[in-house]
Amino acid sequence: MQNFEIDKMIEEHLKARGIKSGAVLEAMRNVPRHIFVRESLQSSAYDDSALPIGSGQTISQPYIVAYMTEQLEPTPGMKILEIGTGSGYQAAILAYLGCEVYTVELLEEHATAAKKTLVDLNFDNVQVKHSNGYMGWAEEAPFDAIIVTAAPDYIPEKLIEQLQDGGKMILPVRESLTMITKDDGEITVNDLLSVRFVPMVE
């Protein structure tokens, strides 16, 4: 049954909506999303919907995870900062793609649970930090790419500072998914699509 639901997710929720990257589709197929959701919700793990993980937080819908990942164009060895670890699912997708992932979570219980899940799944290329996401992870900067999975009201300056020149940052600002590129210190901002994420808090 689970394989059928994974196939349905890939074909109907991802490919049919324009996800083209073979690497991203492979990651979405092979990282077990049901491990990252509550046991009581595992039957819905491969539906195209966000699911609650506790403390008012959610695991993003598969399409959004795939879309944001594809937009970053991750390649093996890239150093990526994630803000908003949550369940650890987005970090696992990036780790599966061979990236070095540094992920920051404000809520200690989520940081602890995500770290355990990622270790259990043998993702040893993910570092988890319990901290304020607005501050990023200065000790490990700069990053080739940054992905933010909670919605701030503004673009955090510290994150722009920690983005490598030539890098990309994708984040929801209020209800607009936004791509930021940095080129010779110049910042370009492009809105991609309307989204709804939980608020990013300090």
Closest by CA position to 125, among listed 160, 159, 88: 88
The string of pLDDT tens digits covering residues 30-46 is: 999 999 999 888 889 99
Q: What is the residue extent of each domain of the chain?
A: 2-194
SS3 179: strand
Q: Taking a C-beta distance cutoff of 8 angstroms, is the pair 136, 162 a contact?
A: yes
CA-derived radius of gyration, the chain? 16
Mean pLDDT computed over every residue of the chain? 94
* pLDDT tops 90 at residue 111: yes
pLDDT at residue 184 in the model: 87
pLDDT band at 17 (very low <50, low <70, confident <90, very high): very high
pLDDT at residue 56 in the model: 85
Cα gap 7→182, rounded to integer Å: 37
Task: Choose, from 40, 44, 55, 60, the residue flagged as catalytic.
Answer: 60
Contacts of 124 (CB under 8 A, 6+ apart): none
* Helices vs strands, H then E, count in the chain: 6, 9
- Give the residue-averaged pLDDT of 84-113: 97
* pLDDT tops 70 at residue 1: no
Residue 194 appears among annotated catalytic residues: no
Q: Taking CA 141 as the corner, what is the angle to CA 137 and CA 147, rounded to the nearest 5 degrees?
A: 65
* pLDDT tops 90 at residue 109: yes
pLDDT band at 199 (very low <50, low <70, confident <90, very high): confident
What does the DSSP assignment read for 81-147?
EEE--TTSHHHHHHHHTT-EEEEEESSHHHHHHHHHHHHHTT-TTEEEEES-GGG--GGG--EEEEE
Pick the CATH number of 2-194 from 3.30.230.10, 3.40.50.150, 3.40.50.10070, 3.30.420.40: 3.40.50.150
The string of pLDDT tens digits covering residues 66-94 is: 999 999 999 999 999 999 999 999 999 99
pLDDT at residue 124 in the model: 95
Q: Taking a C-beta distance cutoff of 8 angstroms, is the pair 14, 63 a contact?
A: yes
pLDDT at residue 3 in the model: 82
